[in-house]
């Protein structure tokens, strides 16, 4: 991708880059990783962010290993959940793509796979699952709503989503949807914690186990804050703010990336 390709973005989408600054944890000089925050069905923002990340990756030296990470919560709360899933699976050309589970993705799959508890269903619908049903043209009162949603998503995409991991580590960087239990070794973290935790993770001053930095989403923040010495929250509430954020780390430097819907 050439820089002028960014000019072809729809006029209402505005890509922005922060200046480079020292990385929260350094990578080898020939490694780069970009981590994108919670998408929540905002496929237009995700597509634009992929273009911005691809543009950043294309500017790196030849031979640089490139990894794109989606931090989970691709679905719920937004109008284009199916396209968001497809875009995440596609990734960007020339880069390894890792898509992590978020709690919303996990809850949707549990229900589609047969979880029948009424409270679980109502919780999902209240917190954005209704947008998935709307997109698929069904309601929870349809006796075969699960089958119709599964058919709309398709077996290939569902199979891919089921195979997504809950965490990914590169050097001293841990990527996860919600966070970690700061009082447990990394090898003893529970799946529910990785998908759902807030406190004590968010209030923990650090350091975290093994001295890692945690790159996460799950808890919306007003702005991308790169000043914390031990973690970066990349969720800027795209479904409500129209701002999808990412952090790019290359060697010993990093920068924030944003796409705004104007």
For the chain, what is the total number of helices (H) and then of strands (E)? 9, 11
pLDDT (0 to 100) of residue 7: 54
The answer to whether position 1 is within a domain reads no
pLDDT (0 to 100) of residue 3: 46
pLDDT (0 to 100) of residue 228: 97
141 by Cβ neighbours in 10 Å (0-12 / 13-18 / 19+) ranks as: exposed
For β-strands 253-261 and 231-233, DSSP reports them as unpaired
Q: Contact, 29 vs 71, CB < 8 A? A: no
Among 175, 170, 158, residue whose Cα is nearest residue 36? 175
The answer to whether position 8 is within a domain reads no
Give me the CATH number covering residue 233.
3.60.21.10
The answer to whether position 193 is within a domain reads yes
pLDDT (0 to 100) of residue 1: 42
The answer to whether position 2 is within a domain reads no
Task: Tell me the residue range of the domain where 137 lies.
Answer: 13-261
Q: Copy the structure tokens of residue 57.
A: 């990756």
The answer to whether position 78 is within a domain reads yes
The answer to whether position 4 is within a domain reads no
> 236-247 b/e with 16+ CB inside 10 Å = b?
bbbbeebbbbbb
pLDDT (0 to 100) of residue 220: 98
The answer to whether position 3 is within a domain reads no
**Structural domain count of the chain:** 1
The answer to whether position 7 is within a domain reads no
pLDDT (0 to 100) of residue 6: 55
pLDDT (0 to 100) of residue 11: 54
pLDDT (0 to 100) of residue 46: 98
Q: What is the pLDDT along the chain (262 residues), one digit of tens a residue?
A: 444 555 555 558 999 999 999 999 999 999 999 999 999 999 999 999 999 999 999 999 999 999 999 999 999 999 999 999 999 999 999 999 999 999 999 999 999 998 767 888 999 999 999 999 999 999 999 999 999 999 999 999 999 999 999 999 999 999 999 999 999 999 999 999 999 999 999 999 999 999 999 999 999 999 999 999 999 999 999 999 999 999 999 999 999 999 999 8
């Amino acid at each position: 991708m050439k820089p002028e390709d960014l000019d072809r973005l729809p006029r209402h989408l505005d890509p922005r880059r922060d200046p480079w600054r020292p990385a929260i944890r350094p990578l080898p000089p020939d490694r780069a990783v970009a981590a994108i925050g919670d998408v929540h069905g905002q496929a237009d923002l995700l597509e634009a962010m992929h273009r911005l990340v691809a543009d950043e990756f294309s500017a790196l030296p030849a031979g640089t290993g490139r990894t794109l990470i989606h931090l989970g919560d691709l679905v719920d709360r937004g109008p284009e959940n199916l396209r968001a899933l497809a875009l995440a699976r596609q990734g960007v050309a020339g880069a390894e793509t890792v898509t992590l589970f978020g709690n919303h993705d996990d809850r949707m799959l549990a229900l589609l796979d047969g979880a029948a508890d009424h409270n679980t269903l109502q919780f999902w619908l209240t917190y954005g699952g209704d947008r998935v049903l709307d997109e698929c043209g069904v309601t929870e009162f349809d006796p075969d709503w699960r089958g119709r949603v599964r058919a709309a998503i398709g077996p290939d995409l569902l199979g891919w989503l089921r195979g997504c991991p809950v965490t990914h580590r590169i050097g001293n960087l841990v990527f996860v949807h919600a966070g970690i239990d700061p009082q447990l070794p990394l090898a003893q973290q529970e799946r529910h914690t990785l998908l759902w935790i807030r406190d004590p993770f968010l209030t923990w001053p650090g350091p975290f186990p093994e001295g890692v930095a945690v790159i996460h989403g799950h808890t919306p923040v007003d702005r991308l804050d790169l000043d914390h010495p031990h973690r970066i929250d990349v969720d800027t509430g795209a479904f409500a703010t129209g701002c999808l954020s990412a952090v790019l780390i290359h060697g010993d430097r990093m920068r924030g990336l944003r796409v705004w819907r104007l």
